[in-house]
Structure 1
Amino acid sequence: MLLPPSPSGFWLQPGPQCKRIRGGRFPGKQQQRRLRRSRTRGGEGPANTPRFLSSLSLPWKRPGFAKIMGKSKTKRFRHEPFSPAGTLSVQDGEAGEGSPAAELLEKLQHPSADMREFACASISKLLQQKQTIPAFLQRDVVRCLGPMLLDQSLAVRETAAGALRNLSACGGFDVCDDMVTKDIMTPLVALLKECRAGLEESNGSLKEIKDTHKNCMEDIANEAVNLLWNVCECNSTAVSIFNKQGCLDVVLQYLKRFRKNVDLAIAVASCLQAVTEDNPDLLSSFDSSAHQVLEMILLSSEKGMEDILLRTLVAGVTWNIRNTLPSGSQASTMNAILKIFSECLSIDAGEMIIQMKEAEVERLKSSAEPEAEGNLGDGDISILNNDEEMEETPKGATKQESDISDLLPGSKQEVKQVAALLLAQQTALEIIVNMCCNEDPSDDEWEELSSSDESDAFMDNYNEGGKLLSPLCLSAELHTALRNHLVPKKILEKTGFPNSVAIDVCMRSPAWKPLIKKLNMVQYRALTCLHSILLVSDVECLGGASVLQSLSQHLSQLIFSQPEFSKEMEFLEAVTSALRALLQTLASNNISQSMSPEQLMTLCEAGIQNTNVSVRVNVVSILGIAGSVLAKVEDTAETLKMIGKFLLDVATKDPSLVVVGEALDALFDVFADGKEAEKAGEQIKLLYALKEFQPVFKSRMRKEGKGQYSSDQLCVLDNVKLNLRRFIAYQEKLERK
């Protein structure tokens, strides 16, 4: 159907069917949980960015990234606290009689279209500030703005859609739910269909051109699609309405216009990626004509960074609907998807930043813009136009709140190109994680022991180096495509720290500085992706023992290369997850790794202080894996004592039962077998400590379990409780010998 496999060298060497190596039970399936891009729970809001003004809006703000571990989610949008001069302030939006919120909502009924447009635009600006949202919600802003989506004035439609987009982006999940409850979908779907009809008209008022560059109906459609994307990502009812009202056919018509309006196409592709995930009711609507639209984009050859982003997003949609494709074309489609990801990841973002900055300098030199300041020869140029305040941090605002890098004006075209590339790379890495974790194994990898309570059965689990075999997670087609397109090698290349020269370029310019966070995010996603690749591949698939040993050194350097232990939460979670998966693979295949016990203890002592549960789980598991290897080596009792004391301390003191459960599992691993482990266990009085802790653990599970933890986590904790009893029985049996 699409592209044949392209011949290339091999980074992943062909080998026997990959086996997933035993991992800690926490996070177990959580570590392999797919990265969800839609309808997440527990996050703060939808993915899409708030809209400044249509001339400044970039609709391709990335969807949020749900963390693999646990239920926590990243912030899925950025609040924009900036209020341009002459507009209303935060305090102006407070509720009360005669408040600006009430006055503006009243002006929506004004007979003058200009006044209605002004009111919508003013509301839109105020809704960028989260503090003002309650005042508008109290006055039923959704039902006031909803009819404006079908106003006779096209300008009013666009500004009303932009205001609702801001409300959905800055208001959070609860506000999006409220918008759907108040039936925002009815006028929104009608608007989308009218825009489609308007774009198909050859003449008439619906074909009115707002300026020489943009079609007015496309601008309205752009805002409407972004609003649709937000509410569908947050609310299942909105997705159901999307399915039933034929929205797929509508947005596919917009997607066909990708060569004329790539921004609109990117918004549609982002929306489709959200609504096609875990939505079997929609899959039947993807017929051959829908496949052709997606295929047309996948096979397009445009080289712009926005085009690369569009192809990446469409590749994600295609992956979500892969079961609707003819069976004979699935292998070629898989190759097409991985080829797109490979090409995207092949671009060096650091080098591109340097080149784009040089291009910006030359452009400003040639245009002699009066707004440019600084020494052009040094490449340190700031554009001081009406938008410059948006790049500064307002007093009282946090750095994250004031990061509006996705709302850059069009004049900063080079920044926009780099941002598009970084988003494409981040998206590609997230989708690859989903691919690797598509067929999740059971949470409980010890379920085979459930039929027996004999302590001897506990030890049967550790045969053959503690390896538990699970079904292959990667299909043959996917495995071949990953190998042919050198995707694992390119993932590994992205795990390094960003180019220091590019970082310096970004630091010297306010407009470029937000790109640093995007560069870092690509590294974090690459580390997470590396973790997933390690879990679904065996040594031969990964390139052999030498490659894995080099990787061990690489991850060690990432962790210890900085003067101080990193405080960056997402980096720590990603790098410890990757290290955990690597150590599992090395230990199961008797391959040495480069980190010394002292380095591991340093990592674990620092990591256990982290507030992120996932980081604590990872470092505890890492120590358990290392300890289980040392237990088989002579003269390691002293090191095992140190590890045992550390794990006991975590098990008895950590506030999270998830971490406690992982610490207990790690103790089982370390002290399961071996003379050195037996000696160390006696010296730290392991059996006595666990017998004393057993009722405490049971009590904590009764008191805290159901209220704070998911059913998956409780299932794992139940098995930990069972294994604790078995382990104690096993240790008592050893003591009697």
Structure 2
Amino acid sequence: MGKSKVKKFNRPQFSPTGFARGKVEEESEDVNSPVRDLLDKLQSPCVDVREFACASISKLVQQEQVIPTFLQKDAVRCLGPLLLDQSLAVRETAAGALRNLSTCGGLEVCDDMVKRDIMTPLVALLKECSSAFDADLVPLQKSKGAKRTSVEVTANEAINLLWNLCESSSRAVSSFNKEGLLEPLLQCLKKFTTNMELATSAGKCLETKLHSTPPLDYGDQFAAKTRLSSNPFCIDSILICMAFLIACTAWNLKNIVPSNNQAATINAIAKILSETLEIDSGQVILQLKEAESQSPARETEVVEAANEVEEDIVFDQESGMEEVSRKGQTQKKTDDISDLLPLKNEELKQAAALLAAQQIALEIIVNICCCEDPSDDEWEELSSSDESDCCFENTLAESNGPLLSPLCLSAEVHTALLSCHVPKKVLEKTAFPSNVAVDACMRSPTWKQLVSKLQRVQCRGLTCLHNMLSVLDVESLGGALALQALAEHLSQLVFTETVFPKNDEFREAATSAIRSLMQTMASKNIPQCMTPEQLLAMCEAEVQCSNSSVRVNAVGIMGITGSVLAKGEGTAETLKMVGNFLLHVVTKDPSLVVVGEVLDALFDVFADGKEAEKAAVQIQLLKSLKAFQPVFKAKVRKEGREKYSLDQLCVLDNVKMNLRRFIAYQEAMEKNCRT
């Protein structure tokens, strides 16, 4: 409360949730089919029987209710040895089954798999695949209609399993380090020219691992890879560059690259980020879609993919959730399932690759421009402040100014971002996706999944804009006129109706960007473009959102608006509207985090100024806060330890103390007015 949190992506929001699909089409329709029988078939001397058993398990474990049964019957130790089976097809399907088990089972299952020693055969498999790459041993099944089975396909399944395990288990990360799995993953990364999917999986797995351990010293390889995107419109090269950037840095460059090479490396990164964001994804999608439609064979493949999935994503205009229709049945889905849909043609893969690259680029910029949350020491200092009844106006004077002080980006980073026009490219990505491209995707069952990816890129752009507003000065952002134009752009995003619903992710990102922009403009006395009435209408809608972060941003926006109004003349009537809005939220919102933010906003708005004093008397602010004070204390005491973190409790304790001081201050003001 009282602080504008700058969002950081601790790691790009990827998760290896794509399910591995078994090679065998037969599937038991009964979820209670004998698990033991399938596990026994894993020991069969017949290769086809072992492969069939692995494929069946791979499909069954996608039903969460059967996972405990497989774990109880020790399926992990039964499947593990098959990762080293003499048959490459069995290795692939076994890795796929374990990958699906880790994906559907979640954190606890992943940790349990590591405890059951799945890492031993997995490490051996990855090292064998790496050796096969070195020897160029990549046998393929080339029979017509057969699924492509090779060392690369098997390695991709194994890497996705490793990615899941490292993301969920510290034991897996420890085994990664002990067994030296960096080299096998780098070997997979080098396959970007022939197998983009494998290289991308390796890059993302490396990125997840690097966020759990200190970075390794391979700056030379990094420098070489940053030169891959000589053609900014080569989507394959851009994607693998981005994957490698994540894998090798996660913005830990100062620990990886020698100091004398840091400026050049940062410039190379900024150039790649800029080139990646420069591509018009909507135009590329239309070109790729047209190329697909001109190929009769490709169109047949697309239809087959749609029939195989037997799912169709539609938007519920009221709830904003996706619905999945499967064989005539409809069920609500709140999670994005787009990653579960197979990419059956090269055009679709290229489009998805571009959107993934742009998302990663924006997430890296978010981290570059990110402010860490207040430290534990700062929270303790806030909560242990002297509780004497000092003058409240002194407390306010100490906190006067921006909610966040601009960070000091290093000169190299600042110069690189501006010279490569990164802020301008980020702003372009905050616009709504092209209507023509969205329509083209919505008309195709297999391309429809790209709509959510387009939306995600826009949301990342808004979050990135929010962070840049917190760390760049007004001149770097283009001056007062540029900020006013930006305010107009953001207002259009909020008030414009779109063909698809604005989900909570968009609302949080948009309100965060507006809040940061308004704070920047207020601190420099730059006139706001949106009227208080427009802002009030927007915030009244946003406080109805189920996402507490959106509600926090909404009351923060009204707090900034009121603080600016309090400095003017003839604004009492508008301040009354702001005050009534905040008082309504403070008594109705169920979240103490939001309530604390509202109280902070009230303190800021009605701390000083004749217009604020007049409005406070007319809305009976003092009476309302005195009545609310015991309610707030009781809620903090009753709900605090059960629902909120220690950091949040420390801030709430500080708000509670400031509420007491503010009431005393208002009482003194009223007493002075009467005398």
Deviations 1:11-38 (A, max 9, x none): xxxxxxxxxxxxx525x4xx32421228
Alignment of 1:200-219 (within 5 A): 200-201=134-135, 208-211=139-142, 216-219=150-153
Deviation of residue 163 (structure 1)?
Answer: 0.8
Give the secondary structure class of the aligned counterpart of 2:155.
helix
Task: Determine the structure 1 residue equivalent to 2:10.
Answer: 36
Counterpart contact for 1:128–1:167, Cα < 8 Å: yes
| Gap change, CA 1:359 and 1:505, over 3 Å in 2 | same
Distance 2:6 2:42 in 1: 49
The alignment status of 1:511 with 2:485, answered yes or no, reads: no
Query: Alignment length, in residue pairs?
Result: 650
Task: Determine the structure 2 residue equivalent to 1:67.
Answer: none
Task: Determine the structure 1 residue equivalent to 2:436.
Answer: 501
Deviations 1:313-346 (A, max 9, x none): 2122333241121011111111111111111100
Task: Determine the structure 2 residue equivalent to 1:415.
Answer: 348
Counterpart contact for 1:47–1:230, Cα < 8 Å: yes
| Gap change, CA 1:565 and 1:455, over 3 Å in 2 | farther
Task: Determine the structure 2 residue equivalent to 1:119.
Answer: 53
Moved more, 186-195 or 475-484: 186-195
Structure 2: which 5+ runs fail to align? 314-324
Give the secondary structure class of the aligned counterpart of 1:562.
coil
Task: Determine the structure 2 residue equivalent to 1:163.
Answer: 97
Give the secondary structure class of the aligned counterpart of 1:693.
helix
Deviation of residue 101 (structure 1)?
Answer: 2.4
Moved more, 478-487 or 105-114: 105-114
Deviations 1:376-396 (A, max 9, x none): xxxxx8556763535573123
Deviations 1:628-687 (A, max 9, x none): 111112222122122112212222221111001000001001101111111111122212
Q: Which amino acid aligns with 1:623?
A: M
Which residue, 166, 172, 182 being the options, matches 2:106?
Answer: 172
Deviations 1:237-270 (A, max 9, x none): 2112212221122322322333333222111100
Task: Determine the structure 2 residue equivalent to 1:267.
Answer: 201
Moved more, 111-120 or 183-192: 183-192
The alignment status of 1:48 with 2:17, answered yes or no, reads: yes
The alignment status of 1:318 with 2:256, answered yes or no, reads: no
Deviation of residue 181 (structure 1)?
Answer: 2.5
Which residue, 199, 208, 226 being the options, matches 1:298?
Answer: 226
Alignment of 1:328-727 (within 5 A): 328-364=260-296, 367=297, 371=300, 382=303, 387=308, 389=310, 393-394=325-326, 395-398=329-332, 403-404=337-338, 407-410=341-344, 412-437=345-370, 439-442=372-375, 447=382, 450=385, 453-456=388-391, 458-459=393-394, 461-462=396-397, 466-467=401-402, 470=405, 472-562=407-497, 567-727=502-662
Q: Which amino acid aligns with 1:389?
A: E
Deviations 1:185-234 (A, max 9, x none): 222112212222333346xxx76444499772222211111111111112
Q: Percent identity at matched positions?
A: 55
Counterpart contact for 1:102–1:139, Cα < 8 Å: yes
Give me the TM-score of the superposition, normalised by structure 1. Answer: 0.83
| Gap change, CA 1:256 and 1:438, over 3 Å in 2 | farther
| Gap change, CA 1:193 and 1:127, over 3 Å in 2 | same
Deviations 1:589-640 (A, max 9, x none): 1111111122112111111111101111110111111011111122221221
Counterpart contact for 2:27–2:56, Cα < 8 Å: yes
Distance 2:117 2:305 in 1: 42
Task: Determine the structure 1 residue equivalent to 2:130.
Answer: 196
Distance 1:460 1:719 in 2: 12
Which residue, 182, 185, 194 being the options, matches 2:116?
Answer: 182
Task: Determine the structure 2 residue equivalent to 1:60.
Answer: none
Q: Which amino acid aligns with 1:307?
A: S
Q: Which amino acid aligns with 1:704?
A: E
Distance 2:177 2:200 in 1: 20
Give the secondary structure class of the aligned counterpart of 2:570.
coil
Deviations 1:508-537 (A, max 9, x none): 111111111111111111111110111112
Counterpart contact for 1:93–1:132, Cα < 8 Å: yes
Q: Which amino acid aligns with 2:236?
A: E
Counterpart contact for 1:405–1:515, Cα < 8 Å: no
Distance 1:52 1:565 in 2: 30
Give the secondary structure class of the aligned counterpart of 1:450.
coil
Distance 2:34 2:336 in 1: 24
Give the secondary structure class of the aligned counterpart of 1:541.
coil
Give the secondary structure class of the aligned counterpart of 2:193.
coil
The alignment status of 1:25 with 2:2, answered yes or no, reads: yes
Deviations 1:278-320 (A, max 9, x none): 522xx2xx23xx3333333221136542321111121223332
Distance 1:563 1:243 in 2: 48
| Gap change, CA 1:263 and 1:722, over 3 Å in 2 | same
Counterpart contact for 2:235–2:354, Cα < 8 Å: yes
Distance 2:262 2:342 in 1: 39
Distance 2:112 2:247 in 1: 27
| Gap change, CA 1:441 and 1:689, over 3 Å in 2 | same
Structure 1: which 5+ runs fail to align? 1-23, 55-83, 373-380
Deviation of residue 478 (structure 1)?
Answer: 1.2
| Gap change, CA 1:497 and 1:207, over 3 Å in 2 | closer
Distance 1:463 1:566 in 2: 42
Counterpart contact for 2:292–2:299, Cα < 8 Å: no
Give me the TM-score of the superposition, normalised by structure 2. Answer: 0.90
Distance 1:666 1:239 in 2: 44
Distance 2:501 2:572 in 1: 31
RMSD: 2.8
Q: Which amino acid aligns with 1:543?
A: G
